Structure 1
Amino acid sequence: MMLNDAPLFALASPDNAMEILPNSPDGLNITVKTDITDNLPVIEVSAGNLHNIVDQAEKTLSQSGRHFQASGLLATVQTCPTSGETAIVPVSQPSLMRDLSRLAAWKRFDKRKDAFVAIDPPEKYVRILFASTDYKHLPILRGIARQPYLRPDFSLVTEAGYDAETARYGVFNAAEYTVPANPTMDNAKSALAVLSEVIEECAFDAECDRAAALAAMLTAATRPSLRTAPAFLINAHVQGSGKSFLARLIASLSTPQSVPATAFTNDSDEMRKLLIALLLKSPAVINFDDMSGDIVPSETLKAVITEAFICGRLLGVSKDVICSTCALILFSGNNIEAIKDMARRVLCIQLDPRCETPTAREFKRPNIEMELQGNRAKYVTAALTIIRAWIVSGRQGVNCTPLASFSEWTELCRKPLIWLGMADPAQRFYEQLKSDPAAELLGRVLLGWKNQFGTSPTLVRDVVIWASQTGRTSDFADALMEAAEKQGTIDPRKLGCWLKKHAGRIFDGMKFIKHGDSRDRVEWKLQIEPSLSVAPVLTVIDQPPAEFSSNETVDPLAALDAMEGF
């Protein structure tokens, strides 16, 4: 039976919901009576019993199978009748009043009648429950899964409805997905061929871009299982190269519904409000389509990509919410790039049709998008088969340079493709780190400093004097001007701040360090670190060495992770 053939919450019956509820906290002996006529639990209202009444109301909600606590709010899972998309929806206070009146028989003792009489839920108790910051009975809901997904132990959740271990709600028809219990490498290769057919006619610039697109498809299929995952930028040189088309193909492995485009904003405060509002609903995909400018970092956007949860204040509600960041994030645009801190968070997929008019191209399978959407379970199953085959194989034989913040993604979405003979999907990451404008400027200053001053401690004032006497005829002087220009000259104070900001950051085996502790006389020194490099290291071996351990692998990006500018 398809999800749309029945009410949404038929997947989670009250009986099933009761099985996963926590026991009442110690010290609370809450007995929910039952109204014989309506077969509803009875909540008796009396003075001096506020805390028990609110607890009974919460327990009644928890037994419905459709009420949860999500991001610190009371919430339900609902399907939009217009788009068909299923989302987590915070419950409003009026809706809570209605639900409590429907789920329980509220009664108050009437002395004149010497009996209990029916009443509506008193607003006082509804308001207190709505504004609570601590729910003792409602099950926690961290997100929605739109296809089978992996638990932390790599077992596959194949049943729809609420899963207590992962705190996710599955909205899918389990019968459509037939992932082998113990797939082999041959099964994985066949599954890879199925996915590769979908993107066969996409105009990738290089094989690493094709591998990155496949990694994005694996990410889309298994995003509920990953704490963090990189965002993906689909980049091209000209309109009509197929950026939005590829984004839709990738997104189809996350959700059966079409994904609306979201407008990107460079305003940090607006980006924070936007992302919190979106993530509260547990979207499958956030798609910043057809961007006109570079991907500029903001604190919230950076955290959404590299953290499992973010905290913020919800507009219109005096509550701080904690949102799961479990969503696939896509960007697309022409000749744009992820700059500064975003360079290590966004993996580029470069398209290049190598023709003057890409929109005039003819395709052998022009309806591939409809084929994918019409048989989505087939392609999601293929993606999950690849990942499961890699897990069943023992996850050995592939050693690649780790990526800071994305170890799970490397294990489940990157290594399986390398294992099957694909190029490293993360290759563009290292190219981006080298081509980042901030990193390039640091490299120019480091190289010029090395050639002019070597490794001797040097005052900022002396550097500025040298650059002024040179008359800006060297690349080093030009780089200093870019770093610390003020009214057409190199400003010593600004250059000192720039050096402080980039101190300790290694580029091409060099870094700046402060020399001495005097406040009146600050010197800077270039230090050589030949043992560190950010060049990618990729090895595919038949058997791992006995001493190999992923915990012992040197991660050059992890050192950069804590430094400013990345």
Structure 2
Amino acid sequence: MTTPQISEADIRATYRFLAHEDRGVTELRIIGTKRGDVRIGYFSSEDAFARACLEANGTGQVYVGIQPRPEKFLTQSDNRLRRLKRGARDSRIEHITSVVIDIDPVRAKNTASTDEELGRAVACGDRISDWVAGEGCARPVRNMSGNGCQLWFAVPPIALTAENRDEMRDRLKAFEAGIRERFQGDGVAIDSIYNFSRIIKVIGSLSIKGEPTAERPHRLSRSLDAFERHEDAALLEMITTMRLPEKPSASAAGTPVGSDAESITIAPTLSPRLQGLLSTKTRIRGLFEGRGKTAIGSNGQPLDTSSSGYDYSLALKLALLGAKEPSELATALWHRPDGHARAKGEGYIQRTVARALEVARADRKQPPPPQASSGDERLPEIQVNGRQVIDVIDDAWSAIRAANEPPVVFLRRSTLVRLQALDEPPTIEEMDKGVSYGHLCRVARWVQVYENRMGHASPRADVARDVVINPDPKLPRLESIVMTPVFDAKGGLLTEPGYHRSARLWYYKAEDFDVPEVPAEPSLDDVMAARSLLINDLFFDFPFVGEADQAHAIAALLLPFARRLIDGCTPLHLLKAPIWGTGKSLLGQILVRFAMMGKKPAVVPLAKQEDEVRKGITAALKAGHPVVQLDNVESLESENLARVLTTPVWRDRNLGESRMIDVPNRVMWIATGNNPLVTKEIARRILLIELQPRNEQPWLRARSSFKHQDLLAWVEEHRGELIWACLVLIQAWVAAGRPRSKHTLGSFEEWASVMGGILENAEIYGFLGNLPRLYSEANEEGEEWQAFVEAWWARFQAQPVLVQELVELVLDQKLLAQVVLDERSQRAQRAQLGRALAKVRNRIIDGRQLKATWDAKVKRRIYALTPIEAQAELPLASA
């Protein structure tokens, strides 16, 4: 199959995602294959932008400005391309709407990527996306740029002012640098594109780098995810509140210092010494040519692999090797093949050289390294040379075990992990070879032994790698982290912070958190007091449909404390309401606060692509937190969600690798939504907690009518007592001999037996009593949509139709009884059916997928059915 040369859908999605129209115009820049061939246009029309991209595609690289340009730029080139001298500068940008991280594989300059190189960049993008999601932010849209991977983040628009402009530039730079520090390496580089006026690839256009070959083809850039804009306030908060690095001194920032600031002379050729270094030292040659894994300063810190990064790194390395003359270093920068330093001018070269010489001079003043006999004499000494590697590995494990008390290194199933205590709460972090190397540095003194002396050494890379691949089975096991006292599998209440070997968990206790003592045999008064605190205080104002819904809310509240009493899976707790403002989100916050001590749970977005759902599940389970939340879902239909809910151990490919991993599934699953569509497959895995408002506009209910006017503040104040109440109900059940309930639920028999028993022992009734309501709604809704799609296909086949035509179909054949069509207004009918269709967009019903797209000609949304066998996914690389 021939790969398409352009995708108008992705080009239009590019324009819409950047969201420039309300805050300015969009800059389109075409950089041709010949030097100086540049065309620039400013666009306020999506159609004109798309036409210009279509016309320019294949004639050069097609770029778009990430941030909007002021509307006055239309006077230079109004919705068309022209040959302009330059595009917008940083100082002219007035708003920020998006943030982009650009990941490229390291390769020769001006060449396309191989499939393997491209795969490295995409895998790095996956790792960054997982990290961002783990920080509580939305996942970015991943775009394949043709040769690398880009992560597009949408943020609430920010107006740039004289007061915040410099700070925002510094914050975007720090955000990008933090990602670079965490993820750059292993053959990929994070480009420096934080400045406001930067341009980026138009997704959907052809990427042209060098001459195409079978191994390095020209590829069509395309989106790897649903290319839609969802503004993420959490990411913006992260960027605007993160701690900024301290400003360097004036000299370190590039101001010429002392004699090094003297005028420089550029020689026509490199000095013989530099020519010799370039011919004999591969590392120096790589810096000179602008290639290599990364550029490393004298302090060992990675620098960005932009042209400026290579300029500085080359000057610094040459200075450290003895080149002290500014003119000699300036000549080397001037003659670098990429021409960057020449284009920036002598002032830039002079500042770069002065900075490199200053750092090199400071480095030479450092005291000599200590002798091998110095250091922490308590650490074991490991000789790295003159031995079999297996003996070095054995010594390494002996050192790890000796230092692992209290434990920080664990086994999670078959994977080596560590407790990352820098976060609050701590997280479970998988150890790769880099983390392993750092840990080995800290648990032993590594030496080389020569004939007549001993010298310092570093841990061997092959040892660090083997420690990860072949972990010691004697290490302590860790499955999860909890933030409250919990019960272990034998019914014991764990109240001491730290590691609990029998339960394979780590209890993190916040400093300001205390729970009253729980009696070993709670009295009837204790049980009734605990029961009353939950029913008559905590849940008093929630409009539960019936007693079963209230019982299920209490079961959800108790589950994190009783999870280890259950040998098996637990269902998805669905908090459902017919309308906003009913209280389902507040109820969800309360359930999460108990288990997470006020911290954010892992959030898994139910993306349209099953691959994204799978990755989200894997990332959430790997973090080891007790709650995973699906927030504001419109429909519950996912093969991977159905699978994880009935899988005690989740098996998946490790993110960014081909290796398979096993992760225990001991979390509590919560979803919230306004009457979400539920498939039969998911319905049998759900515990329903339904709320029904008592009036038409529940959000207008008088605050004074609530028993606790600020319920979250009340929960915060009484958290210790509320957790005591939960623990008392469970402890009373344990003390009574753990009586089992006769209620059962397929695939969740153990859970139903335990949770039903705890509730019944506390005289809380209604457990599983609303299942018939849940199943009838799922069956009825599914059957109605199936009948609608059958009638749609019979009348229109695959023909695109407007919503009005579907309204007529619904009314003619009396379809979709759950969609109430207002007979008084055709406009209202279209809006009602449009909202219903939006909930099932891209859903597969009766073997056909419902598609919705915007038709610019008629300025209406059009709908069509596509048989699933007719769909084909574009390959990543051209054939």
User: Normalization by structure 2: what TM-score?
Assistant: 0.44
- SS of the aligned residue for 2:650 comes to strand
Q: Which residue of 1 aligns with 2:600?
A: 259
**CA–CA separation in structure 1 for the residues paired with 2:560 and 2:427:** 17
What are the residue-to-residue correspondences of 1:37-436 with 2, within 5 Å? 37-62=376-401, 63-64=403-404, 65-79=407-421, 81=423, 84-113=424-453, 116-130=454-468, 132-172=469-509, 176-196=515-535, 197-226=537-566, 227-259=568-600, 261-291=603-633, 293-298=634-639, 300-361=640-701, 362=703, 363-396=706-739, 399-436=741-778
Q: CA deviation at 1:225?
A: 4.4
Q: CA deviation at 1:149?
A: 1.8
**CA–CA separation in structure 2 for the residues paired with 1:95 and 1:201:** 49
Q: CA deviation at 1:378?
A: 2.1
Distance 1:404 1:321, change over 3 A: same
Q: Is the 8 A contact 2:379 2:443 kept in 1?
A: yes
**CA–CA separation in structure 1 for the residues paired with 2:516 and 2:660:** 38
Q: Is the 8 A contact 2:419 2:428 kept in 1?
A: yes
In structure 1, list runs of 5 or more residues that go unmatched.
Answer: 1-33, 446-472, 476-481, 486-566
**CA–CA separation in structure 2 for the residues paired with 1:123 and 1:58:** 15
**CA–CA separation in structure 1 for the residues paired with 2:747 and 2:553:** 20
Q: Is the 8 A contact 1:74 1:90 kept in 2?
A: yes
Q: Is the 8 A contact 2:516 2:721 kept in 1?
A: yes
Q: CA deviation at 1:324?
A: 1.2
RMSD (CA atoms): 3.1
- SS of the aligned residue for 2:380 comes to strand
Q: CA deviation at 1:325?
A: 1.1
Higher relative contact order (CA 8 A, sep 6+): 1
Q: CA deviation at 1:420?
A: 2.7
- SS of the aligned residue for 2:596 comes to coil
- SS of the aligned residue for 2:683 comes to helix
Q: CA deviation at 1:399?
A: 4.6
- SS of the aligned residue for 1:253 comes to helix
Q: CA deviation at 1:202?
A: 1.0
**CA–CA separation in structure 1 for the residues paired with 2:384 and 2:754:** 53
Q: CA deviation at 1:407?
A: 3.0
Q: Which amino acid aligns with 1:200?
A: F
**CA–CA separation in structure 1 for the residues paired with 2:662 and 2:470:** 12
Q: CA deviation at 1:79?
A: 4.2
In structure 2, list runs of 5 or more residues that go unmatched.
Answer: 1-372, 788-812, 816-844, 849-879
Q: CA deviation at 1:326?
A: 1.2
Q: CA deviation at 1:217?
A: 0.4
- SS of the aligned residue for 1:74 comes to strand
Instruction: Give CA deviations for 1:266-302 in whole Å, capped at 9, x if unaligned.
Output: 42211111100111011221111111x221131x322
Point out the more displaced range, 359-368 or 267-276: 359-368
Q: CA deviation at 1:119?
A: 1.2
Q: Which amino acid aligns with 2:558?
A: L
Q: CA deviation at 1:439?
A: 10
User: Normalization by structure 1: what TM-score?
Assistant: 0.67
Instruction: Give CA deviations for 1:521-546 in whole Å, capped at 9, x if unaligned.
Output: xxxxxxxxxxxxxxxxxxxxxxxxxx
User: Bigger radius of gyration, 1 or 2?
Assistant: 2
Q: CA deviation at 1:351?
A: 0.6
Distance 1:438 1:310, change over 3 A: farther
Distance 1:366 1:340, change over 3 A: same
**CA–CA separation in structure 2 for the residues paired with 1:51 and 1:337:** 57
Q: Which residue of 1 aligns with 2:197?
A: none
Q: Which residue of 2 aligns with 1:521?
A: none
- SS of the aligned residue for 1:307 comes to coil
Distance 1:138 1:438, change over 3 A: farther
Q: Which amino acid aligns with 1:275?
A: I
Q: Which residue of 1 aligns with 2:158?
A: none
**CA–CA separation in structure 1 for the residues paired with 2:392 and 2:748:** 46
What is the identity percentage for the equivalent residue pairs of Structure 1 and Structure 2?
24
Q: CA deviation at 1:409?
A: 2.2
Q: Which amino acid aligns with 1:284?
A: P
Distance 1:36 1:102, change over 3 A: closer
**CA–CA separation in structure 2 for the residues paired with 1:61 and 1:438:** 59
**CA–CA separation in structure 1 for the residues paired with 2:486 and 2:643:** 24
- SS of the aligned residue for 2:676 comes to coil
Q: Which amino acid aligns with 1:219?
A: L
Distance 1:160 1:411, change over 3 A: farther
- SS of the aligned residue for 1:165 comes to coil
Q: Is the 8 A contact 1:176 1:377 kept in 2?
A: yes
Q: CA deviation at 1:72?
A: 3.1
**CA–CA separation in structure 1 for the residues paired with 2:421 and 2:616:** 21
Q: CA deviation at 1:433?
A: 3.0
- SS of the aligned residue for 2:696 comes to coil
